[in-house]
A and B are shown apart, each in its own frame.
Chain A
Amino acid sequence: MSLFQVVPDHSQVNKQEIILSIRDLSVEYQTRRGVLSAIDTLSLDLYKGEVLGLVGESGSGKSTLGKAIMRMIPSPGRITKGQLIFKNQDLMAYDENQMRDVRGKQISMIFQDPMTSLNPVQRIDNHIIEAIRVHEPNISKDEALSRSESLMERLGIGRRRLKEYPHQLSGGMRQRVMIGLALALKANIIIADEATTSLDVIVEAQFLDLLRELKDEFGLTILLVTHNIGIVAELADRVAVMYAGRLAEVANVDELFHNPKHPYTQGLLRSVPNIAMDSQDLYRMDGTPPNLVMPPSGCRFHPRCPHVMDICHQKQPWLVRVDEIGEGDEQVGGYDKHLASCWLHQEYQGATQARRY
């Protein structure tokens, strides 16, 4: 399966140092029809210097996870349990003021639509000055500006452009401004939430190139939230696949694309159109993503799964290691480990017949 040209670059990744550890995180939304479980007991580690692609369909909870890391879940949603361990501290224990120091300065976020992510009545330089001065109130406006000028130059935003308003800039430029805002504060982690979705393909390619360069230059750790498998193949070191608020599979990008273990990942990869492929061959996954107010019992993917078994209706599978070293080993974590949560790949009690393919 060589649909994608995968060029992972592990040179910058520190496989030992976990910069952010999400542990048993649950996010729920109080809705009129009941409690919507947007993220259910999710654990994921982010290693320093890596690009982790977070993929899934719309409504799988991937954007919610990005917001949850910033503790910016909009009401009526809230984080009901879990920990966010960042630099040995639990962000969940932080108060709003401490959290504000983290936002932007430690963890930064780039949003989907650069057209609407900048305040239309503020000039670009005012955005930069504000961002810097929020975190370093003693710096003068001129100082803040002169500090960011070379950075913006590096991003291809000339000095004159800084005096302009957002609507005078192109989409690609605005997205570069957003990156600049993140870099100006020297954030360690950048959460890119569908950051290229609204850009056209050429600008998108340029933007991805830039992101790759910046990652090495600034030693960034990037959480790339996207539904675009192609972007993940191009930029990510590792991939986490989300389905209905849970992780389906986590693996490094090579492994995931060539040896997907979870039926959902398999379907997802087969449903990506390819130019060399006859359009008849394009796989279409049956069914729709589940209603998360009343999620399916057991494995949330079971109503759509081609390999569904009895146990899938009853019990939720754990995220376990599925690579050669120890199949069925109930251990989460490790940079190079291939993890999946599927009954096809783990021991379970009470099952007498497991269909294997």
Chain B
Amino acid sequence: MELTFGTICGGGLLIIGLFLLYAILTGSRSLRNYVITRLLLVVPMIWVLVTLVFVMMRILPGDPISTRLKPGTDQATLERLRERAGLDRPIHEQYWDYLTDIVRGDLGVSNNVELDRPVTEIIGRRFPATIELVIPSIILMLLFGISSGALSANRHKSTMDYAFRITSVIAYAVPIFWLGLMLQIVFAREFNILPVAQRINPGYVNEFEHRTNFYLIDTLLAGHWKAFGDVLKHLILPTITLTVALVGVFIRLTRSNMVEILQEDYVTASRARGVPERKVVYFHALRNSFIPIMTLIGLQVAVLLAGAVLTETTFSWDGLGKLLRDGIALRDYPVVQGAVVVFAITVGVMSTLTDILYAFIDPRIRF
């Protein structure tokens, strides 16, 4: 089987599906009902979202045709182009066609002449870029957020604790685009050690086959080490930007949970049994503070994707976020709607998944 974005996505969905199936088959009756309900709820959630986006895009002044053409283009040309895009038809007809198309898996064709491709194809090219940015950010965020939160709690009220607490508030408050710009100025312009923007040096783009559109994987498959290193270099600044934007909440949450848990009776009890302090903190207490962190991860997926829109825009990162932003600017209805559907499915699946993992971490949870 050929390795493409499609097969990767399919594989991922298969694993998630098998996990859910496992939960349904082995779990208690209530867990089973919960999983099925959650999955069924994703459908109306997406319907509400696409409807909202459909309406909002049409409330915005201007349409795909007028935003693209030069001011002063004659009315007849505009009408002709609108007719070709189907924009002259009654709005309820457009809505109905749109919904039935989505059900069939057809997200339409971009209204943008430069793209002018089926939206599914564009997403297939752009979504990997977003995933390539988001996954390292999540990993960094969890590693740094949880470890510094735990350290902070362990040295409760120390200078380091205060330093982490202040850092977390600042990180939480800093606007993503501003931070991105500052990083660009410092590391790309002043020190000139990292690239300013984009995913890869344009010179390398045509030197390897774009099979999965994950550039890290593609360059590896092609054995193009120079390009691989270049992709990594391009990843650094956007990843840091996205990580910083989200890490603050995790530091705070981990810290406050740990502080609370370190005062629990069972922590004192295990100390009284002579369990070494390090094991008490990083095994007993940390594992228990994972429970609310798990919930937050599920909730933060949406925030993360929103952050990806800003990060990608700042760094001209050709992902789904930038596609969405450009689509809105050009009133490219199918593209915006398509991107929102993908985001919605991602958030829906991820939050269901974290909720179920939650039950696996905490034996007390029964749905």
Q: Which residues of A contact B273 (CB under 8 A)?
A: 103-104, 108, 130-131, 134, 181, 185
Q: Which residues of A contact B189 (CB under 8 A)?
A: none
Q: Which residues of B contact A135 (CB under 8 A)?
A: 274
Q: Which residues of B contact A130 (CB under 8 A)?
A: 270, 273, 275
Is B287 an interface residue, CB under 8 A from the partner? yes
Q: Among B87-95, B179-187, B231-239, B358-366, which stretch is in contact with chain A?
A: B358-366
Q: How far is the CB of B32 from chain A (nearest CB, A)?
A: 20
Is B300 an interface residue, CB under 8 A from the partner? no
- Taking a contact as CB atoms under 8 Å apart, the answer to whether B265 and A113 are in contact is yes
- Taking a contact as CB atoms under 8 Å apart, the answer to whether B269 and A103 are in contact is no
Is B211 an interface residue, CB under 8 A from the partner? no
- Taking a contact as CB atoms under 8 Å apart, the answer to whether B287 and A103 are in contact is no
* CB contact between B265 and one of A100, A111, A167, A185 (< 8 Å): that residue: A111
Q: Which residues of A contact B279 (CB under 8 A)?
A: 134
* CB contact between B271 and one of A72, A119, A165, A178 (< 8 Å): that residue: A72
Q: Which residues of B contact A122 (CB under 8 A)?
A: 284
- Taking a contact as CB atoms under 8 Å apart, the answer to whether A109 and B269 are in contact is yes
Binary CB contact string for chain B from 251 to 284 against chain A (1 if under 8 A, 0 otherwise)? 0000000000000111011111111110100001
Is A101 an interface residue, CB under 8 A from the partner? yes
Q: Which residues of B contact A178 (CB under 8 A)?
A: 269
Q: What residue of chain A has the Cβ atom nearest to residue B285's Cβ?
A: A119
Q: Which residues of A contact B264 (CB under 8 A)?
A: 116
Q: What residue of chain B has the Cβ atom nearest to residue A105's Cβ?
A: B274
Q: Roughly how many angstroms separate A112 CA and B279 CA in the complex, as a whole number? A: 23
Q: Which residues of B contact A112 (CB under 8 A)?
A: 265
* CB contact between B272 and one of A96, A101, A104, A119 (< 8 Å): that residue: A104
Q: What band does the interface of chain A fall in when counting residues whose beta carbon is under 8 Å from B?
A: 20 to 34
Q: Roughly how many angstroms separate A116 CA and B269 CA in the complex, as a whole number? A: 9
Is A169 an interface residue, CB under 8 A from the partner? no
Is B288 an interface residue, CB under 8 A from the partner? yes
Is A70 an interface residue, CB under 8 A from the partner? yes
Binary CB contact string for chain A from 102 to 140 against chain B (1 if under 8 A, 0 otherwise)? 111100110111001111111000000011001100000
Q: Roughly how many angstroms separate A122 CA and B272 CA in the complex, as a whole number? A: 17
Q: A165-B363, A167-B363, A167-B364 are in contact. Are A119 and B266 (CB under 8 A)?
A: yes
Q: How far is the CB of B272 from chain A (nearest CB, A)?
A: 4
- Taking a contact as CB atoms under 8 Å apart, the answer to whether B268 and A72 are in contact is yes
Q: How far is the CB of B251 from chain A (nearest CB, A)?
A: 22
Q: Which residues of B contact A101 (CB under 8 A)?
A: 274
Most A CB contacts (10 A, CB to CB) among B264, B275, B288 go to: B275
Q: Roughly how many angstroms separate A178 CA and B269 CA in the complex, as a whole number? A: 9
Q: How far is the CB of A89 from chain B (nearest CB, A)?
A: 16
Q: What residue of chain A has the Cβ atom nearest to residue B364's Cβ?
A: A167
- Taking a contact as CB atoms under 8 Å apart, the answer to whether A165 and B364 are in contact is yes
- Taking a contact as CB atoms under 8 Å apart, the answer to whether B362 and A120 are in contact is yes
- Taking a contact as CB atoms under 8 Å apart, the answer to whether A103 and B272 are in contact is yes
Q: Which residues of B contact A116 (CB under 8 A)?
A: 264-266
Q: How far is the CB of A18 from chain B (nearest CB, A)?
A: 23
* CB contact between A134 and one of B266, B275, B288, B363 (< 8 Å): that residue: B275
| Interface, chain B (partner A; CB < 8 A) | 264-266, 268-277, 279, 284, 287-288, 291, 361-364
What are 17 of the A-B contact pairs (CB < 8 Å)? A70-B272, A72-B272, A103-B274, A104-B274, A109-B269, A109-B272, A111-B269, A111-B272, A113-B265, A116-B264, A117-B265, A119-B266, A119-B270, A131-B274, A135-B274, A178-B269, A181-B273
Shortest beta-carbon contacts, A-B, top 6: A104-B273, A104-B274, A103-B274, A116-B265, A109-B272, A165-B363
| Interface, chain A (partner B; CB < 8 A) | 70, 72, 96, 100-105, 108-109, 111-113, 116-122, 130-131, 134-135, 165, 167, 178, 181, 185
Other contacts beyond A116-B264, A121-B291: 19, CB < 8 A:
A70-B272, A102-B274, A103-B271, A103-B274, A104-B272, A109-B272, A111-B268, A111-B269, A116-B266, A117-B266, A119-B266, A120-B362, A130-B270, A130-B275, A131-B273, A134-B273, A134-B276, A181-B273, A185-B273
